[in-house]
Amino acid sequence: MFPYWEFMIIFASSFVHMDRIFAKSTLKNFWEQHPDSEQYLKTWFDTAMSSNWTTPNEVKQTYVNASVLKDSRIVFNIKGNSYRLVAKFNFRKQWIFISFIGTHVEYDKIDANTI
C-alpha cells in the first residue's frame, strides 16, 4: 500500500471562507483503501470547509493535537493517530494543499517539513 502523494487544493471563492474543495477524491480514494478512516476524513473535510482559519494557532484551537511545522505546514492526526494528514496552508488566500495522507507507519518514512 502506498501513501497518497497527490495534492488536493482548497480554493476560496472569497478571502473569508473556504468555499470550494477540488479533488476531494484524494480523501475518498484513501478512505476506500482504509474504510475505517472515512468518517474521520469526512469530518476533517467538513471542518476545513466551514472554518475561517487565519493562523496556525486558530487551527490548533480546533485540532488541539495537530502539530504545527515550518512553512505553514500542519500535521493532523486522523482516527486516533492511526493515520496522518499533512497540509500546507496559505491563510491569506484560504488555500489548503494536502501534501500527504497515509498511515502512521508511512508518515514516519517521510519528512513532513519538506513534502
Give the tens place of pLDDT for each residue, 24-38. Answer: 778 899 999 999 999
What CA–CA distance (Å, rounded) separates 75 from 113? 10
Q: What is the pLDDT of residue 108?
A: 94
Q: How many structural domains is the chain composed of? A: 1
pLDDT tens digits for 15-74?
Answer: 334 444 445 778 899 999 999 999 999 999 999 988 989 999 999 999 999 999 999 999
Residue 115 lies in a domain: no
Residue 60 lies in a domain: yes
User: 15 is in which domain, residue-wise?
Assistant: 8-107
What CA–CA distance (Å, rounded) separates 106 from 115? 13
Residue 21 lies in a domain: yes
In this prediction the pTM is 0.80
What CA–CA distance (Å, rounded) separates 42 from 61? 19
Residue 71 lies in a domain: yes
Residue 36 lies in a domain: yes
C-alpha cell at 79: 482516527
Sorted by sequence, the CB contacts under 8 Å of residue 40 that are 6+ apart come out as 78, 79, 83
